Amino acid sequence: MTAEDSNNSTPPAPDGTGAARKVGRTVRKVLVAGAIAYGIVAGYMYLNQRNFVFVPTGELESPEAKGLENVTVETVSMQDGTNVTVWTSEGRENTPIVLYFHGNSSNLSTRHKRFAQVLGSGFGLYAPSYRGYPGSEGAPSEAAFIQDALEHYDRASAAGRPVIVHGESLGTGVATAVAEQRPDAGLLVLEAPYTALVDIASEQYPWLPVSVLMKDPMPTRERIQNFQSPVLPVHGSEDRVSPVSHGVRLFELAPEPKTLKIVDGVSHSGLWGNGLWDAVQDAYCTSKVETLAC
């Protein structure tokens, strides 16, 4: 080979196979890192999910401290020996008793203004504090809540008076489970309900397999189909916690008699201050015209 041939020779082409291997290794590392991160997040959510669903806070104050007269604080022992706190008041004779299941946050005493309105109407009150919430022993779970709620219903109805089962937010799932198994309930009230807790979780975390991970799915949509007494779902059109579509769907699934009340411009926690209690009394009296409460 001459010097001229050497200068004009073309260098060998780079090895494309080696470059492809490097890219492949990088992609695999990224995928493995992503899978590990996903697993860590999913594991954290699984282990801590009940801290997101059940949020007891504050100190349970006395009814007297909240301005409620003639309300008794009882300590009730559940079937498994767990002691829970219940606020009770008889109300006027021949009126229904409101069995009230509160929402997932704070505690029973923060609902005192609602209870004052119930009592001011002459109705009786039976309001338990969930296990694991201020004033009550134990740990929260769907199964425990429902078992306790059935016992509460039996205690509230023992006097032979009609029982209005009222669920607020989280409590709507508990209330519906009770009504499914206690068909003699006078009225089921669902304040800002959800079709199922697992449905809410799926909407909030679409990238997680929540149907597999959820310990407390609370399928209200299934249970409400088996209740034969009057049902009143009440929902705010601006609810961002449990969208109004959930209330509409439950209304569609519920057997007759039923009434749906949608309050325009109201969010998740604003229903009581926008005529909810009046709607409850109207719904009850429409179906029970013979009662002296009306």
Q: pTM score, two decimals? A: 0.90
187 within a domain of the structure (yes/no): yes
Residue 39 burial (10 A CB sphere; 0-12, 13-18, 19+) = exposed
Q: Residue range 195-218: average pLDDT?
A: 96
Which residue is it, tokens 């969010």? 267
Would 17 be classed as within a structural domain?
A: no
Rounded distance, CA 46 to CA 244, Å?
A: 27
CA angle 87, 88, 93 (to 5 degrees): 165
Q: Tens of pLDDT along 27-73?
A: 888 888 889 988 998 999 999 999 999 999 999 999 999 999 999 99
Q: Tokens standing for 74?
A: 């009882």
Whether 148 is covered by a domain: the verdict is: yes
Mean pLDDT for 213-237 is: 96
Looking at residue 16, what is its pLDDT? 63
Domain contains 63 = yes
Residues 6+ apart with CB under 8 A from 187: 96, 164, 165, 229, 230, 231, 232, 280, 283, 284, 287
Please give the residue range of the domain that contains residue 64. 54-287
Evaluate whether residue 204 is within a structural domain. yes
Q: Identify which of 275, 129, 85 has the alpha carbon closest to the alpha carbon of residue 191.
A: 275
- Residue 287's pLDDT band, with cuts at 50, 70 and 90, is confident
Q: Summarize pLDDT for 262-279 with one digit per residue, the tens.
A: 999 999 999 999 999 999
- Is 236 part of any domain? yes
C-alpha–C-alpha distance, residues 92 and 291, integer Å: 12
40: in domain: no
Q: How far is 284 from 274, CA to CA, in rounded Å?
A: 18
Residue 30 lies in a domain: no
Percent of the chain exceeding pLDDT 70 equals 93
Residue 3: pLDDT above 50? Answer: no
Instruction: Residue 196: give its domain's CATH number.
Output: 3.40.50.1820
Q: Report the chain's terminal Cα–Cα distance, integer Å.
A: 114
> Could you give the number of structural domains in the chain?
1
Distance CA 280, CA 166 (A): 9
